[in-house]
Structure 1
Amino acid sequence: MGQTHATNAETLGHEVVAGADLIEPAREEFAETYGATSYEGFEAMYDAEDLDAVAVSTPNAFHEEAVVAALERGYDVFCEKPLASDLESAERIADAAVESEGFCMVNFHNRVSTATEVFKDHQAEGFFGEITHVDANYVRRRGIPGVGSWFTNRELSGGGAVVDIGVHAIDYALYLMDYPDVEEVFAVTRTEFGHRDDYVDPGDWYDETDEAVFDVEDSATAMIRCEDDRTISLEVTWAANQEETNDFVVRGTEAGAALELGGEELTLYQAGTQGTDHLFDSTLTGGSLDRTGWEGSDERFLEAVQTGEPPALNTAEHALTVQRVIDAIYRSGEKGTSVSVE
């Protein structure tokens, strides 16, 4: 992801001046690719370079030290999701963002899509009425990241499927609802496939070694209750014996919608009495945003850096809310009961 952000920055007309990585071959490749100075540690880079902004793409456990150090220097920071590997660390990052002259934006790139923009404009006009429920799905049929990588090591990642891909689904569902306060979570987490010798993986995601660490969940089901009894049903899997889906279904008091996480298709559901009682659906066709996904997210971050105006999109405050939900999912899964979101 570090190289993705660097490439996008150059494509968008900005200069990549430096990068930091503990691994020497990675540093050398980065320096050669972008004509940048490379450093073994981020502190040395921060001290030596005159930077406007930084992108932090380390494993989750190391977000805090790199992000906080940048914010303390007044840099604008683009942090990969999730905000941190645990709630306490995320809270410290959010506190640092409040105190900093710079801002912290988190890479929830699925928000940047044509379907989402159209949906949010309709929502702002009151088209949906009150949104009362979102059905959120991020289901891979086979997609466990390489076993033994940091993705499957709780100490480095903070969790499994919920932290890796569930974070996107949680953020997106809350974003579609205009980020209501979250009050309670009931969840079940499962590890059904990660330790199986007969695990079938045609996509070659599952790269097991003799000393591979897999101490995280590969799926989770959750019911999230927000203020005014608005709800989100969440299904997240790295692996499941079902068809893959990224479908989100939104129910409102006046209209509803169906769209895919990060996708471009949008269907609106309405009912009417004109002529006779009837149901009708409309589908988005035509125009599209110039840049979506990772590139669109990078573009919005860099525009905010240039203007000096912190972005309203993907704030550290929203990322902290997502982290609180993740924390509640794990606590509920361990207790076997619903838990309050703290």
Structure 2
Amino acid sequence: MSIGGVDTPVTTASTHTPLRIGIVGLGYIGSYVGDQFNRHPDAEVAAVCDLDAVRLASVGDQFVVDDAHRYESYTAMLEDAPLDAVLVGTPHTLHYEQVVAALDRGLHVYCDKPLTTDLKRARDLADRSEAGEEVLMVGYQRHLQTAFWTARDRFAPESEDGTDPTWLTASITQGWIEDSADTWRLDPDLSGGGFLYDTGSHVLDGVLWSTGLEPESVRASMDFHDDDQRIDRRAHLDVRFANGATGTFSFLGDAPAVREHIHVWDDEGAVYLEGKQWRSRRVFEIDTESAEYHPYIDPRRERSRADAFLESVMEGREPPATARDALAVTALTEAAYASARRGERIPVEL
């Protein structure tokens, strides 16, 4: 049962045949979200895939997957394992090929963010998902957080108090460069970019989804970690939106702590979202007299990513974060990188 975008907790008993999940990529996302599926009464981890033999054995044991369904090749897993859905938790630039392969086999897909780092491929996946019957959910978990639902309700066109945002600021900090040392995240052929395409992607998505704003153009500046200017460590975006609103985004990937701050202003005041580390965000409403109101937030009632995906599959409805949502993020991100390298304002090609 959903109330204001927040569902009541999933019960421990199941009346459904468990959905058979195959996991491609057993790093953090594959293991963390995979464990949500493994513990869920409506799901079963039926196969796992990773190039790292040690990780494959360890996670395979953790999820009690028999040796015959542990694979080093995702194509072999798709051909051989009896599956209903696939979790894609691989490096960013590999997502497209793996998502397409799963969809072509009629499988539902949960894919980590960003869905893809190529605009043409992002459009293709958005079109595929809307034309097909399979669920394609993207790992933008802010769509499951009550704080962002509160902001979305304020700006929804159908809302009784619906208003248009006029100006916004958003920022996030993290010790991302240090955290990513010696990993694929600092290899642009696998990551597709730097801090903006990784943690920053969540902030872009959270703002665009909760406000309904469509980015029209962007002027960006970046400090790069590499000589080829592909891995950004700091990024600043000045965005113009189709409704006339403007906004700034700042991303600092070599900070000592994780903090997120978002202010969205309209004619009635503002919504302010903030949080630290990876905990659920808090939300405040600011009125025209600068008074603050604190809507009640109970993060214990927020759905997990596995909950949301399984509900979408079993009920045949659109997932919380769609390929169309992801397309908007990719379009803005690609335009921002182009702007930073050229030193000029770039249109966002949605």
Q: Normalising by structure 2, what TM-score?
A: 0.82
Deviation at 1:7, TM superposition (A): 0.7
Q: State the one-letter code of the partner of 2:86.
A: V
Cα shift at 1:6: 1.4
- How many Å apart are 1:244 and its aligned residue? 5.2
Deviation at 1:214, TM superposition (A): 9.2
Does 2:93 correspond to 1:28? no
Is the contact made by 1:128 and 1:253 (CA closer than 8 Å) also made in structure 2?
no
Partner Cα separation in structure 1 for residue 92 and residue 48 of structure 2: 18
Deviation at 1:73, TM superposition (A): 1.2
For 1:149, the equivalent position in structure 2 comes to 183
How far apart, CA to CA, are the structure 1 residues paired with 2:115 and 2:174?
23
Structure 2 vs 1, CA of residues 214 and 133 (structure 1 numbering), >3 Å: closer, same or farther? closer
Q: Which residue, out of 304, 328, 332, partners 1:321? A: 328
1:236 aligned to 2:236? no
- Kept in 2: contact 1:222–1:234 (CA 8 A): yes
Picking from 248, 252, 257, the partner of 2:262 is 248
Q: Which residue of 2 aligns with 1:45?
A: 77
Residue 36 of structure 2 contacts residue 304 of structure 2 at CA under 8 Å; is this kept in 1?
no
2:11 is the counterpart of 1:3:
no
CA spacing shift, 1:75–1:291, aligned 2, 3 Å = farther
Q: Does 1:184 align with 2:217?
A: yes
The within-5 A match list for 1:127-166 is: 127=161, 129-140=163-174, 143-166=177-200
Q: SS at the partner of 1:229?
A: coil
Give the CA deviation at 1:82. Answer: 0.5
Between the aligned partners of 1:120 and 1:181, the Cα distance in structure 2 is 14
CA offset at residue 291 of structure 1? 4.8
Seq. identity, %: 27
Which of 115-124 and 298-307 deviates more? 115-124
CA displacement, residues 137-158 of structure 1 (integer Å, 9 cap, x when unaligned): 1122565333231101111111
SS of residue matched to 2:167: strand
The equivalent of 2:273 in structure 1 is 259
Structure 2 distance, partners of 1:141, 1:170, is 19
3-state SS of 2:110 partner = strand
After superposition, give the CA deviation of every residue in 1:53-84 in whole Å (9 maximum; x if it has no partner): 11100001111111000111111111100011
Contact 1:221-1:235 at 8 Å conserved across structures: yes
CA distance in 1, matches of 2:197, 2:178: 13
1:108 Cα deviation after fit? 0.5
| Matched ranges for 1:68-147 at <5 A | 68-124=100-156, 125-127=159-161, 129-140=163-174, 143-147=177-181
Counterpart residue type for residue 89 of structure 1: R
- With 87-96 and 40-49 compared, the bigger mean Cα shift is at 87-96
Matched, 1:281 2:292: yes
Larger mean Cα displacement after TM superposition, 227-236 or 332-341? 227-236
SS at match of 2:249: strand
Q: What secondary structure does 1:219 align onto?
A: strand
Shift of the alpha carbon at 1:282? 0.9
Alignment check: 8 A CA contact 1:129 1:255 kept: no
* Residue segments in structure 1 that go unaligned for 5+ positions in a row: 196-212, 272-277
CA distance in 2, matches of 1:34, 1:70: 21
Q: Which residue number corresponds to residue 206 of structure 1? A: none
SS in 2 for 1:268: strand
Aligned with 2:268: secondary structure? coil
Rounded Cα–Cα distance in structure 2 between residues aligned with 1:102 and 1:239: 39
RMSD of aligned alpha carbons: 2.3
* Residues 199-252 of structure 1: per-residue CA shift (max 9 Å, x gap): xxxxxxxxxxxxxx99511110001111021222100111148x7530101101
Is this contact kept in 2: 1:144–1:239, CA < 8 A? yes
Find the aligned partners of 2:211 and 2:166 in 1 and give their Cα distance. 8
Amino acid at match of 2:312: A
Ranges in structure 2 where 5+ consecutive residues have no aligned partner: 1-28
> For residue 322 of structure 2, what is the amino acid of its counterpart?
T
1:8 offset after TM fit, Å?
0.5
Number of equivalences? 312
When residues 126 and 251 of structure 1 are mapped into structure 2, their CA distance, relative to the original with a 3 A threshold, is farther
